[in-house]
Amino acid sequence: MFKPLPDAAGATVMVVIGGRGVAVPEGCTAAAAMLMHGAGITRTTPVSGEGRAPYCMMGVCFECLMEIDGEPNQQGCLVIVREGMRIAPQLGKPGAKL
């Protein structure tokens, strides 16, 4: 569903998504990088544990909350990737024992 445009091929950066090193286009967001590499969800809800994924991709809906470089509650659609960034889904409430 989400594919890079043909003319978007260019410089890439290496990031770690869910413990796996991957190359992503320079300038894309953390949420886009997760979607590109098959991550179905970026977070689970604190109450029910239901999986959620990016929706608006512009910082309004908060469905793309994820852990970036060890910091929870980051809106992945607003964070531009950089070399060595560590991106992981946010599971439940940060700091909660699941």
The confidence score (pLDDT) of residue 18 equals 86
State the pTM of this model.
0.82
Q: Which two tokens stand for residue 35?
A: 């979607």
pLDDT category, 98, cuts 50, 70, 90?
Answer: very low
8 A C-beta contact, residue 28 and residue 13 = no
The confidence score (pLDDT) of residue 39 equals 73
> What domains can be seen in the chain, in order of their start residue?
12-89 (3.10.20.740)
Bigger pLDDT: 6 or 31? 31
